A and B are shown apart, each in its own frame.
Chain A
Amino acid sequence: MSVAALHKVEMTPKEYKSDVAPVWCPGCGHYGILNGIYRALSELGVDPLNLMVFSGIGCSSRTPYFIDSYKMHTLHGRAGAVATGAQLASPEKAVLIVGGDGDGFSIGGGHMPHMARKNVNMTYILYDNGIYGLTKGQYSPTSRPEMTAYTTPYGGPEEPLNPLLYMLTYKATYVAQGFAGKPRDCAALIKGAIEHKGFSYVNIFSQCPTFNKIDTVKYYRDLVGPISEDHDVTDRGAAMELARREPNKKVPVGLFYKEDKPTLDERVAEFVTRVGGKPDYDLNKVLDLSRP
């Protein structure tokens, strides 16, 4: 995220709350993630005026309404693409994308690799609850096959995808995973993502007590475990190995990978420098190229 937007204000986490209160179900993991976002924004002193929050469609995509900032509630699957345009047009601002697993990896799946490989300077927080909640509980790209749901009464016929391997493969420059049941850890990972210059991706397991009856809080608590301290976060191969899901293996939470490299807006700015671009550029020189 843009360094220019950081450490501008002193605000408590509470002061980042908007007047609109979340209407998620009781026990929903999303509350924990939202609190993590408030805390991270506060700790980094992000100026709300220069923060743009984008979402698509879904329960988690309601998040922008609850944050006091500039924000856009876009179409299903398009938050990242819309945010990319906003970031490039306004690279000094902080850009946050929030959304769910269906929004990000199913309908919006075509955009995910490109935000990552282009290293667009923004942060994507994906609330991974393995279900479509807003449409009342259909299996999602991260649902486990054994889950019976609205349109999968006999269980899911598909393999779930692995968000972390996906993001590591397409060269996101900050990849982390958390669990909503540990909001302080989430806050730390989100903070690191926002501080990171480049495309940062945080996958956060979030229980949906209403529709996902198998990925319960207890399931996640038993499933996740911390990344060992000797993991080298600059080693993409090691990160990918960590991200592999195997039966009876703990699913690691923490920072998997971090890399510093030029962002898309920095590269585009180089073109402007290279051609001597300026607002009062003499356009007669452009016209002369079309003389017969």
Chain B
Amino acid sequence: MEKKDLIIRVAGEGGEGIISSGDFIASACARAGLEVYTFKTFPAEIKGGYAMYQVRASADKVWNQGDTFDVFCAFNGEAYELNKHLLTPGTAIVYDYPGGDFEPEIPEGVAGYPIPMSATAKELGSYRAKNMVALGALSVLFNIVEETLIRVLTDKFAKKGEKVLSINLAAFEKGKELAAALEKKDEWALAEAQDPKDVIIIAGNDAVGLGAILGELDFFSAYPITPATEVAKYVSIHIPKIGGTLVQAEDEIASISQVLGASYAGAKSMTATSGPGLALMSEMLGMAAMSETPLMLVDVQRGGPSTGLPTKHEQSDLFLAIHGVHGDAPRVVLSVEHVQDCVEMTIEALNLAEEYQTPVILLSDGSLAFSTQTIPTPKPGSYKIVDRKLWDGQGTYKRYQLTDDLISPMANPGTPGAMHISTGLEHGEDGAPKYAPENHELMHRKRFDKIKPIVDRYPPAELDGVEGEADIGIITWGSTIGVVREGVARLVEQGYKVKAMYPKLMWPMPVDQYEAFNSTCKQILVPEVNFQGQLSHFLRAETSLKPIPYTICGGLPFTPAMIVDKVKEMV
């Protein structure tokens, strides 16, 4: 397969401008009409520690972070040490030398470009401009459109005053000069600029916030938690613009409680958290299910359990999202693949909560949270927005009336003739507590059966790969889908009979779709980033499938190469 993309990894000490360098490259690529997918890792500490930012850019759609880098830019010795095993023939390294804290050994077949980043920045009077020296060098060496890069830098630094701007631009120029004096020893170059597209470039967490705004959210209650806090940050900036409210609660129990109360009062309401927060919220999610109160929650998963790996990637909250509650309580659980999903499925999740009067959990994950991606600019007003079914004022109002679709009309406070109690106690149709055995069974059936139609109404899971019979069928979820897409494409091109299924409605499970997929595959492989194989578990429990789990949990996502290798090993 011809390689059309370029993957640049910048790494060094947190606080050295690694993240801003990556952002500049990503923005410049997007301005040049390229598709961008970024991937970052950073320490849980505020200052220091190893930080890494990888930009993958291509004229074609990019679905994941890629296998490894083509070009590595090392800001310090630690970054070099952590990445040197990836310096395989064909790759290139740009490194801080002389004047840095290390002198790398350049392996045979690797193009090495020493650039005195630290020394040059010091000469210019600002050590903080080190990353600009690196950027200048990268732009010359790898054809990162200089014009767009300078525009991005100017836009960014102009806000910080003339002096800061001029030092940074000077550092950038110096980096260019230094690189121009070196002999180009590799073939790597960014794709040629394309016609500008109508895109935005946005990170997963911000995109969830954007979805909330486009989804006409009224109320958001937040409690800070890595890696979900940016959702609240984005919403806090923009929700007042549509007349809504964001408050920060004293803990996650309070934030989910406030969301429930706001929803009861008639507001479209949500919160965002990560696994530890979701664990604290589980009792109130039971109350929302019991009282049939619409409520939406985004869980940006991180490495667990307990404090775990707060800044690292994992998909290990599927058990908690689906079954983390006392008693029998229905939920709807969705998962997002990429940043565009973060926008659109947040709107969908809000809609489903309102329509089915039930808690809806949207699962994102740590790598998607901070991954910036180019996506077609969303069109405000073009999305279907669903509000709760309200009582029509006819007859006697019963909050939990057994209607044909089992969805009882709601009456927001203030509605004449419909005063009622919403309670966590088991209740009859009128909302009054009722403990009769037959009533508990009846009401359980109501609450569970009302969400069943979602399975048929929700768009079927996307299928990928070969048509008809396949040797291997891959089922995966969340951001792992983007990795599998590329793995499957490579395998199919190499003649392997591989297909894939990408469910986004995790619960209730589309059992018939899984069975149909299974009937065309000799073996089912389920890659996911958790220890126990959580989706495999649900497939075994709920379907006749015999999935082969492929689990990793090292804090990093899969790569397409890992999928390819695994399938080849199985066939």
The A/B interface has a contact count, at CB < 8 Å, of 185
- Establish whether residues B424 and A75, one from each chain, have CB atoms under 8 Å apart when the complex forms: yes
Chain B, residue nearest A278 (CB)? B243
A223 at the A/B interface (Cβ < 8 Å)? no
Which of B347-355, B415-423, B474-482, B496-504 binds A?
A: B415-423
Given contacts A88-B219, A110-B254, A277-B240, contact A82 B261 (CB under 8 A): yes
Give the docked Cα–Cα distance between A215 and B423 (Å): 31
Asked if A201 lies at the interface with its beta carbon under 8 angstroms from chain B, I say no
Within 8 A of B (CB), among A67-119: 68-75, 78, 81-90, 93, 110-111, 113-114
Q: Mark B1-40, 1 if CB is under 8 A from A, else 0.
A: 0000000000000000000000000111111000000000
A286 at the interface (CB under 8 A from B): yes
Q: Are B421 and A85 in contact (CB under 8 A)?
A: no
**Residues in chain A near residue B29, CB distance under 8 A:** 292
Residues of chain B with a CB closer than 8 A to A265's CB: 245
Interface residues of B in 145-170 (CB under 8 A from A): 152
Q: Are B266 and A89 in contact (CB under 8 A)?
A: yes
Interface size bucket, B side? 35 or more
B287 touching A75, Cβ below 8 Å: yes
Establish whether residues B261 and A290, one from each chain, have CB atoms under 8 Å apart when the complex forms.
no
B419 engages A69 (CB within 8 Å): yes
In contact, B264 and A72 (Cβ under 8 angstroms): yes
Bound: A74/B290 CA distance, A? 11
Task: List the B side residues contacting A292 at CB < 8 Å.
Answer: 26-31, 152, 199-201, 374
CB A170 to nearest CB in B, in angstroms, measures 11
Residue A284 at the B interface, CB < 8 A? Answer: yes
CA distance A265 to B267 in the complex (A): 14
User: Chain A's nearest CB lies how many Å from the CB of B145?
Assistant: 12
Given contacts A110-B250, A271-B240, contact A89 B269 (CB under 8 A): yes
Nearest to B197 among chain A residues (CB) is A292
**Residue of A at shortest CB range from B31?**
A292
Interface string of A239-268 (1 = CB under 8 A from B): 000000000000000000000000011001
A88: B residues at CB distance < 8 A: 219, 245, 247, 258, 262
The answer to the question of A26 belonging to the interface, with a C-beta cut-off of 8 Å to chain B, is no
When C-beta atoms are compared, the residue in chain A nearest to B221 turns out to be A85
Shortest distance between the CB of A108 and any CB in chain B (Å): 9
Q: Size range of the interface on A?
A: 35 or more
Which among B178-186, B210-218, B448-456 touches the partner chain?
Answer: B210-218
The distance in angstroms between the C-alpha atoms of A1 and B539, with both chains bound, is 52
User: Contacts A73-B424, A85-B258, A264-B247 given: A48-B265 contact, CB under 8 Å?
Assistant: no
Tell me the complex Cα distance, A268–B413, Å.
21
| Closest-CB distance, B475 to chain A (whole angstroms) | 33
Q: A287 and B378: CB pair below 8 A? A: yes
Cβ of A153 < 8 Å from any Cβ of B?
A: no
Q: Is the interface of B mostly helix, strand, loop or mixed?
A: mixed
* A172 → B minimal CB distance (Å): 15
- Judging by beta carbons under 8 Å apart, are B260 and A279 in contact? no
A274 to B213, CA, bound (A): 18
Contact assessment for B31 and A81 in the assembled complex, using a CB-CB cutoff below 8 Å = no
Q: Are A81 and B257 in contact (CB under 8 A)?
A: yes
Instruction: Establish whether residues B245 and A268, one from each chain, have CB atoms under 8 Å apart when the complex forms.
Output: yes
Q: Which residue of B lies closest to A282 (CB)?
A: B380
Nearest-neighbour CB distance to chain A for B412, whole angstroms, equals: 8
B482-506 vs A, Cβ < 8 Å mask (1 yes, 0 no): 0000000000000000000000000
19 further A-B contacts with Cβ under 8 Å, apart from A52-B413, A85-B261, are: A70-B414, A75-B257, A75-B287, A78-B254, A81-B258, A82-B264, A84-B254, A86-B262, A88-B245, A268-B240, A275-B240, A277-B242, A278-B243, A281-B243, A283-B381, A287-B210, A292-B31, A292-B199, A292-B200
Interface residues of B (CB under 8 A from A): 26-31, 152, 199-202, 206, 210, 213-214, 218-219, 221, 238, 240-245, 247, 249-251, 253-254, 257-267, 269, 283-284, 287, 291, 374, 377-378, 380-381, 413-416, 419-425, 432
Provide a sorted-by-A list of 6 A–B residue pairs whose CB atoms are within 8 angstroms: A88-B219, A93-B413, A111-B254, A268-B240, A286-B241, A292-B29
